[in-house]
Amino acid sequence: MVNLPLAHDLLWGMTPAQLPADAPAWAIVALAAGQPVVVRRALSEEGLVAVGVRGVLREQRLATFMPLDSIACRVSPEALCHVECERDLPVMQALKQLRPMLDDCCWVWGVSGSVGFELASGFAAMHAGSDLDLILRAPQMITRNQACKLVGLFDQAVCRVDMQLQTPFGAVALREWASGSARVLLKNANQAALVTNPWHPQEQAA
pLDDT digits (tens, 9 = 90+) for 84-130: 998 999 999 999 999 999 999 889 999 999 999 999 999 999 999 99
Local structure of 97: helix, strand or coil: helix
Measured distance CA(137)–CA(84) in Å, rounded: 22
Instruction: Determine which one of 69, 103, 131, 155 is catalytic.
Output: 131
Measured distance CA(116)–CA(124) in Å, rounded: 11
pLDDT at 161 over 70: yes
How much is the pLDDT for 83? 95
pLDDT at 137 over 90: yes
Considering only CA atoms, give the Rg of the chain.
Answer: 17
- Segment 41-53 shows an average pLDDT of 95
pLDDT at 3 over 80: no
Q: Compute how many other C-beta atoms are within 10 angstroms of the C-beta atom of residue 5.
A: 20
DSSP-derived letter for residue 35 is: -
Instruction: Determine which one of 9, 133, 155, 162 is catalytic.
Output: 133
Reply yes or no on whether 133 is catalytic: yes
How much is the pLDDT for 206? 40
Q: Compute how many other C-beta atoms are within 10 angstroms of the C-beta atom of residue 63.
A: 11
- pLDDT over 90, % of the chain: 89
Reply yes or no on whether 131 is catalytic: yes
* Helix, strand, coil distribution of the chain in percent, nearest 5: 30, 25, 45
How much is the pLDDT for 204? 60
Measured distance CA(11)–CA(51) in Å, rounded: 9
> Taking all residues of the chain, what is their mean pLDDT, rounded to a whole number?
94
- Segment 1-30 shows an average pLDDT of 92
pLDDT at 132 over 90: yes
Interhelix angle for 90-104 vs 144-154, to 10°?
Answer: 140
- pLDDT band at 26, cuts 50/70/90? very high
- Segment 40-52 shows an average pLDDT of 95
